[in-house]
Structures are given as C-alpha cells and as structure tokens.
Homo-oligomer: A and B are copies of this chain.
C-alpha cells in the first residue's frame, strides 16, 4: 500500500502539516517551493497511502474540565492472542482511555487516561478497569505536569539519517 517512496518535497509537506495541519494549500505550496496544484496532488496521495492518517485539533483537556490525566500500567493473567484482543477491545470502548499500547516485559499494556476529577477516575478504575476479565494488576500514576508533548515524528532526525546514507 505505501507504494512509492517519498522525495524531499513530500517529507517537507509532512513536516509542515504536522506542525500546522490547518495551513492553506497555497501557503503549504509556497513553503515547500512548488505551486499549489502539484502540492495538493501530493497531499492527497500522502493521505491515500496512509502517510497522513488524519488531522486533529489539539484541544486542552484541563480547560474543558478534564483535570486529571493518568497512566495505567496493566498486567494480564493470560497473554493468549484472543485475550489480548479482548482487552484491547475493552479499552477501545472506554472513553476515558485515550491511548492503549501493548508492551513487552512485565507490563502488558500502558493506558493513557483522562478524567474530570480524581473520584471519577477512581470509579472507572475500580468499577471497570480492575474489574475487567483477565486483568491481573493495575498500577496507576497521576500526571503532575506535562513537560513535553510534541506530535508524531522528528523530521530533523529523518533528514539527518537520509543525508548520512546518501
């Protein structure tokens, strides 16, 4: 599906749209040094081939009343594939769970959660997460403060790498 490999213009487009996803196409085109029509064609292709998975406004959870962010490290009793998938599907159904990643090592999953306040998170924790089938252990850590939250991919690292390879 990814099909074609990207040239530097494509990578510049991705870097620009990662930085400002609402930029107009003419602005984008001028920044990457081509005219608008081919720029738009490239963007459409990048979307179709999956390089761009979507565009999202970055909304401040705290200002909207979600005061609490929590990381939850989850261990399961069974790591059989069917049981892993079952737990992933549970996570997808829980709106307070925003991210769920399967890990190697002792922790099976890490979950990034938000909640309006501590008590509603505790309710979720006791009534849903720790109560779920196959869940063996849950360790939670409150986010005291977010120190860095950059989107996606470091394009400068990518360019460095490509430069060294030739």
Contact = CB atoms under 8 A, between A and B. Distances in A.
A163 interface: no
Interface residues of A, number: 66
Nearest to A97: B148
Interface string A84-106: 00001001100111111111110
Given A55-B57, A58-B56, A100 B147 contact: yes
A52 interface: yes
A41 interface: no
A76 interface: no
B64 A53 contact: no
Contact of A142 (B52, B53, B69, B104): B104
